[in-house]
Amino acid sequence: MKKVCVKGGGQKPLDMVLGQLALAAGKLKLDRNIHEKLKHPQRTLIVAVPVRMDDGRLEVYTGYRVQHSMERGPCKGGIRFHPQVDLDEITALAMLMTYKCAVVGIPYGGAKGGVVCDPSKMSVYEIERMTRRFASEIAIIIGPDKDIPAPDVNTNPRVMGWIMDTFSMSVGHSVMGVVTGKPLALGGSSGRLEATARGTFYVTERMCAHVGIRLAEATVAIQGFGNVGSHAARIFHEHGATIVAVSDVYGGVHNPGGLDIPRLIEYSQGHGTVRGFSGGKAITNRQLLETRCDILVPAALEGQITEENAPRLKARFVVEAANAPTTPAGDCILKERNILVVPDILANAGGVTVSYFEWVQGLQAYFWTEEEVNERLRRIMTQAFDDVVAVMDTHRVDMRLGAMMLGVGRVAEAAALRGLWP
């Protein structure tokens, strides 16, 4: 297989995505005009988010909503609350969402949003006021036929409920389809909370079958123990895999014989971290990434596997449950070391897939069982993996480029069929 790497240039998320797009466009011999269009987001909204804090002072946060493409349908993408949010990151993630939706074949384009803040230093009332003000500022461009936000880093079903309520109050009736990832009582979908983790598991299961190893005999290390990482640990554990290490922002724990995942989850919920868990040896996030295991699952933030640490990874496979966890330089090193990477736009697409299910259920006011949701998710994730492998085999490329070629090709086809107006 020919190894194609993105070398040189910046390590910023947008540079990375544009580099991946250029590689895919070159291999596809994409029409230059369509390539040029896909390099730019369709719409970018930057808003001030003034919030009255609990002590009476006013804080003004900055919020973003970027809509990359509507070629295949309304936009879709998460909202994150984090101090490192910036426009470059949000734009890159919106672009990745476009191709992610296309890879799994759902009728959306990509969007992303965020507010620059540190929710760990805010009360729940301050977060609610900030959420509602941000929702009111972006209400001009979101809606069930325009752009449907969902949870992301440091947001959750409760935050989605606040956004739904704020939007609904502005139009005078309940609009279930304006966001996904909502609480079940507000029209959420069964299975949505763990959908990203479950989709990651289904793809990993298919990968193991493809390369001829038994998942039940595999060792797994998971970086990040939030919604995605904790659910992934539980699901992998329930299917027989041995979880040898996990970590969160405060630290991690390692046990080569396998961690007691049910007890670890209970400990994490009670202490707010996995650090200090007595069932293993304390490790750092850096040490987790370099843990000896069969499958490494980065499920935290961007840019974790880099040129500096990629030579020391001891995993056989990397399954990207996070968005853009591997830098271009790190990716090149993993290719040179023949470490298979299941890329983010395939591996973590379970979340947006079940968000699509929730949107459909809300529009129809007809809801499915969790078993139905999970079975439909399995079929879509399995088919997407097989479609990516078919592109890999046809064009002799690695899995990341194969997934990008599949996604870009589908978006480009839609763009060509729609044409340019006016």
191: left (phi > 0), else alpha (psi -120 to 50), else beta?
left
Alpha carbons 376 and 379: distance in angstroms, whole number: 5
215-248 residue pLDDT tens: 999 999 999 999 999 999 999 999 999 999 999 9
Establish whether domains 41-176 and 195-347 are of one fold.
yes
Residue 2 pLDDT > 70, yes or no?
no
115-148 residue pLDDT tens: 999 999 999 999 999 999 999 999 999 999 999 9
Residue 312 pLDDT > 50, yes or no?
yes
Mean pLDDT, residues 92-111 taken together: 97
pLDDT band of 5, cuts 50, 70, 90: low
Quick one: the chain helix, strand, coil %, rounded to 5? Answer: 50, 20, 35
Q: What is the pLDDT of residue 12?
A: 84
Alpha carbons 253 and 409: distance in angstroms, whole number: 42
Q: Which two tokens stand for residue 17?
A: 């995505």
Pick the CATH number of 195-347 from 3.90.1150.10, 3.40.630.10, 3.40.50.720, 3.90.1200.10: 3.40.50.720
Mean pLDDT, residues 64-91 taken together: 97
Hey, how many other C-beta atoms are within 10 angstroms of the C-beta on 43?
16
Task: Tell me whether residue 59 is exposed, middle or buried, using C-beta atoms within 10 angstroms of its C-beta: 0 to 12, 13 to 18, 19 or more.
Answer: middle
Alpha carbons 331 and 326: distance in angstroms, whole number: 6
Residue 202 pLDDT > 90, yes or no?
yes
Map out the domains of the chain as residue ranges.
Answer: 41-176, 195-347
Residue 382 pLDDT > 50, yes or no?
yes
Q: What is the pLDDT of residue 13?
A: 87
Write down the mean pLDDT value for the chain.
Answer: 95
Topology of domain 41-176 in CATH is Rossmann fold (3.40.50)
Residue 1 pLDDT > 70, yes or no?
no
- pTM of the entire structure? 0.93
Q: What is the pLDDT of residue 7?
A: 45
Q: What is the pLDDT of residue 9?
A: 40
Give catalytic residue positions. 112
Q: With pLDDT > 70 as the criterion, what percentage of the chain qualifies?
A: 97
